Structure 1
C-alpha cells in the first residue's frame, strides 16, 4: 500500500538521512525476490457491499469469536465503506492501537525526525547531567537490542573530548521530560513485571531491558518478553557513569539539567553547556520497530513525541489527548476513539473499526505519503512477524501473502486490522475486533483469519 508513492529513493533517502556510499566492488548477483504482497491493480474491479457481505457474514457467528464481533471493510482507492457491523462502536483494540500511534506520530513529527539524548555540564564542577529526550531504543554500546540505535558509549566519548583533561566526578540523570505515572491506566497487574511492558521514562536503554543480548537471542521463544529495569533512567545513568570511568559503585541521582548560562569564566564548561548529543534512528524506523515487533515500550515513547509536538505534557494522558487531536486534524472521526495508552495494553482503550479502516485507507491511498510508513513493519500473512505461523491451513490459506495486518491480543480480546488484496487485485482496508472472545487463543485467531482470508479469496462482486 502506498508503495508506488513512498518506497522510492527520494523521500525515503531523505527521511533516513545520508545515503550510504556506493560500494567499490560490484555486489553478488542475487535472484529476483518472490512477491509476498501483491500490489494494487488500478484497473481491478471494485467489490460490492453485497459481495463482501456474502463472503464474510457467514463467518461472523463462529463460536470462538464470542458475542461481539465488530467489523469494517473499506475500499482503499475510493474510501467507500463496503461492510460495517458495529463499525462505529468503540471496541477494546489491544495492539492494533499501534496503527493509530504510528500514523499520529508520523503526522506530528514527520518520518525523518530523530530523538536526541544529550549530556550537559551540571551545576557543580565535574558533574555531568544525562538528559533523556525520550529515545526508547538508546543502547549502552554496540551490543544493544535495536540495530543501529544511538549509543551511550558514543556520547561518553563526546563528553570526554568536551571536558579535555578534566575527569567527571558525578552523573545525574534528567528524565523530567516525561511527567506523571510510569505505568499506564487500565494495565493488567502483571504488565509492569511480566516483560511485555515496563516503566515509561524519558531516559532508558534498550527499551528498559536488563540484558539486551539475551532478549534479542530469545525474542522468538519468549514472544518478545524480557526482564526490565524498574527504574530505567537510573539504570541508564549508572551505565553512563561506568562509561565515563566512574566505577560500578558510583551513586547516580535524579535532577534537572541547568539552563545554559553562556561562556564559562574558567576552564570548566559553564553549567548547562552541551557536552555531547546522540540522536535516535529516524521516526520512520522507530515506527517500523514498534509495529513489526509490537513493541509496547516504543509505542508509549512515540505517543509522548506526539504530545510534545502538540504542546501537551509528555505523559499517558497528554499522549492520548495529542493523538486524539491529530486524528481530528487528519479528518477522521475523533469521537470514535478514546485512549488511555498508545500500546494497546490498557483495557480502557476504545476504537471503532471504521476509524481504523479509514485511517489505514488514508495512509494507503497516496494522498499523505509520509503516513504510508506504517506499512513497512506490518506482518505479512504466512510470512513474517505475528502472522508468520498463521494462514497456513486450508480454511485460511487464501490470505497467505495477500493479508498484511497488525494483530492484537489480551485475555478475551482479539483483533486484526490492515490491508488485503482481493483475488481480482483490489486493495481493501479491514478491521475485525472482538472483545468478548470465549475460545482459546489459537481458535479465535483462526476464526479471524478465516474472515480476512475470505476477503483475499473472493472478487466480492
Structure 2
C-alpha cells in the first residue's frame, strides 16, 4: 500500500473553531468586527440518541415564514432548489424541489470529503517514493499527494504541512545512487487526465490542472505560479531534477508500473484530514480529484474520473447510509454535467453530524466560516447577510449560471440545521451569492 498510517491518535475536534492549516491574510477591518466563529461548539461532539436531546426541533412553519421572502429574491434567478433539515434528527424542515438533481458546483466536494474520511483515518498520509534500478534510472512513483511541494529548502510551501521534493532529493543524494535519467511513474491512475466533462478553458487555469499521480503544488509547475499545469507530472519531475542539482537530466513519464527498483527515498503528505480541510476551505479542485482517487484505490476500483465517482457513491451508501445518486462525473464539482440533489447533500450533512467516525464528524470543523475563513471570508460582511457572520459554516459552489451553498447553522434557540440551496439558472453570480447569503442568514436569526 502506498498510503501509510501514522501511529498517532487523532486529536479530538473542539467545536467548530478553525484550525490554521492554510496561509491566510490578516483579517480585514470588516472581518475583525464580525463575531468569532464560536457558535458551533459541540456540533461535532460524539452523537447522542435522538430521543436524548433536549433541544427542540425547529418549527417547520417558522422556517417557511422566515425563508419565504428570501427564496423569492430576484438575484437567485428563475429556479431555486432548496432543502433544510434538522441536522441531528434528519427531519425535513423546508423542501423546495429538494429532491431534484442539478449541478452542485463545488458543494460536491462535501461528498469527496465524507467518502475519503470514511475509508481512511484522519491521520493517514500519502507516500511518494523514489526508486533506483541501480543502472542510472530513478523512478518517481506518485501515489496521489496533491500538495507535494517543489519549494526549495528553507522556502515556504504553497500548502502548509506539505511533503517536499527537496527532502526527497536530499535523501537520494545521501543514498549516493547513480542518476542519469528520471522517470515519472503515473501507473496509479487510469484514463483521461482531464475530464471530458470539463470545459476546454478549465485546464490549464488558476483552478484546474491535469490530474496525475505525481504533481506538485496543486498541479503547478512552480509553487508561485497562479495558472496550473496541463502536464504537472513532467513539471514535478523537472522540479525534482532542479532540486537534485541536475536540471539537465531527461525526464519522461510512463503509465506502466516500474515499482521494481530499490526504494532510496520517501516522503509523506500532510494528514488526510488536513488535505480535506485545505480542499474545503479554498475549494481546491485538484485536491478534490486526488482525494476522490484515494477513495477509488481504497475500494480496489479504477482510479479515474468515472471510477472515483462510482467509488465515492458506493462508500457513502455503504459506510454512511446516504445514496447520492449516480449523477457524479468527477470529485470536485467542476463538471457542469454533475448532478446531485439538495436533499442528498442535507442527508449527507446529517450523516456527518451523527457519525460515530471522528474523522467524518470533523468535516464540520473544516468548512469555511461566514466572513471569517476560506471561500466565505469575503462574504457575509454587509447588508442582509451580515447577521450570519461567524455563525454560518458552509461549502460554496460556483459555475457559470450556477451558485450553490450547503452547510450548517445554529438557530438562536440552539437548533442545528443543515441546508443546501441551488440557484442554477442565474445570470449574475455576485447577485446570486448575495441572495444565497441573505437567505441562510435568516436561518441564523430565526427563533424557530
Provide the secondary structure at the position in 2 that maps to 1:414: strand
Check 1:335–1:143 CA distance in 2 against 1; reply closer, same or farther (3 A cut).
Answer: closer
Offset at 1:197? 0.4
Task: Return the TM-score normalized by structure 1.
Answer: 0.84
C-alpha displacement of 1:367: 2.8
CA deviations on 1:347-401 (whole Å, 9 max, x unpaired) are 0101111111111121123533220222233111122222222223342222111
After TM superposition, give the deviation of residue 13 of structure 1 in Å: 7.3
Larger radius of gyration: 1
Q: How does 1:227-242 map to 2 (within 5 A)?
A: 227-242=227-242
Which residue pairs with 2:191 in the alignment?
Answer: 180
Contact 2:388 2:440 in 1 (8 A): yes
Partner of 1:281: 270
Matched, 1:69 2:70: no
Q: 1:156 aligns with which of 169, 176, 180?
A: 169
Secondary structure of the equivalent of 2:409? strand
Residue aligning to 2:131: 120
CA distance in 2, matches of 1:434, 1:404: 18
Alignment match, 2:334: 345
Look up the match of 1:457.
445
Question: Which residue does the alignment assign to 2:343?
Answer: 354
Kept after mapping to 2: 8 A contact 1:65/1:447: yes
Conserved? CA contact 1:205–1:232, under 8 Å: yes
Once residues 73 and 420 of structure 1 are traced to their aligned partners in structure 2, the CA distance between those partners, rounded to angstroms, is 10
Answering whether residue 148 of structure 2 is matched by residue 138 of structure 1, we say yes
Structure 1 residue matching 2:309: 3-state secondary structure: helix
Q: Sort the Cα spacing of 1:296 and 1:427 in 2 relative to 1 into closer, same or farther, 3 A.
A: same
Q: Structure 2 vs 1, CA of residues 335 and 250 (structure 1 numbering), >3 Å: closer, same or farther?
A: closer
Deviation, 1:254, is 1.6
The 1:133–1:13 alpha-carbon spacing in structure 2 relative to 1, beyond 3 Å, is: farther
SS of equivalent residue, structure 1 residue 114: strand
The gaps in structure 2 that reach 5 residues or longer are 1-7, 14-33, 43-52
Consecutive unaligned residues in structure 1, runs of 5 or more? 1-8, 15-32, 216-225, 261-271
* 1:444 aligned onto 2:424: no
Deviations 1:74-114 (A, max 9, x none): 11121211111111111110000111110001112221111
Counterpart selection for 2:119 from 105, 108, 116: 108
Deviation at residue 34 of structure 1 after TM alignment: 6.7
Matches within 5 A, 1:10-409: 11-12=10-11, 35-39=36-40, 43-122=54-133, 125-140=135-150, 141=152, 142-163=155-176, 166-213=177-224, 215=225, 226-246=226-246, 248-255=247-254, 256-260=256-260, 272-334=261-323, 336-409=325-398
Alpha-carbon distance in structure 2 between the residues aligned to 1:365 and 1:109: 18
CA drift of 1:10 comes to 5.6
Cα root mean square deviation, aligned:
2.1
SS of match in other structure, 2:242: helix
Distance 1:348 1:69 in 2: 18
Distance in 1 (alpha carbons) for counterparts of 2:355 and 2:213: 34
2:419 aligns with: 430
Q: CA deviation at 1:335?
A: 5.4
Of 33-42 and 97-106, deviating more is 33-42
Tell me if the contact between 2:131 and 2:259 (Cα under 8 Å) persists in the aligned partners. Answer: no
Cα shift at 1:422:
0.7
Count of paired positions? 407
2: CA distance between counterparts of 1:354 and 1:156? 48
TM-score, normalization: structure 2? 0.86
